[in-house]
Amino acid sequence: MTLPWREQQAAGAAWGLLDGEIDHRDVVLTRAEREANGKMVSCCSRAAGKGRRIVLEL
C-alpha cells in the first residue's frame, strides 16, 4: 500500500504503549491496532481524557 508522505511520516512515529489509554486521531493505524491499544502515533494522538497520563516505550 502506498501512503501519502504525511501518513508515511506518521507511521514512523508509532510508539509502543506501556500504560494508559489513547485518544487515537491518526489515519495510519488499523482499527484492530487502535482497539488493541498497544501503539500510539505521537504526532496525531494523545492520552484519552483531560489530565490523563500515558507511558510510552521509546
CA distance 47 to 4: 26
**DSSP label at 13?**
T
Domain count, the chain: 1
Q: Tell me the mean pLDDT in the region 24-29.
A: 89
Instruction: Identify the CATH number of the domain in which residue 36 sits.
Output: 3.10.20.30
Would you state the cell numbers that stand for residue 28, as one nine-digit string? 495510519
Q: Pseudo-torsion of CA 29, 34, 36, 39, nearest 10°? A: 60
Q: Range of 38's domain?
A: 5-57
Average pLDDT over residues 21-49: 90
pLDDT value for 35: 93
Residue 49's pLDDT is 85
Averaged pLDDT for residues 1-20: 67
pLDDT at 42: 85
pLDDT at 43: 83
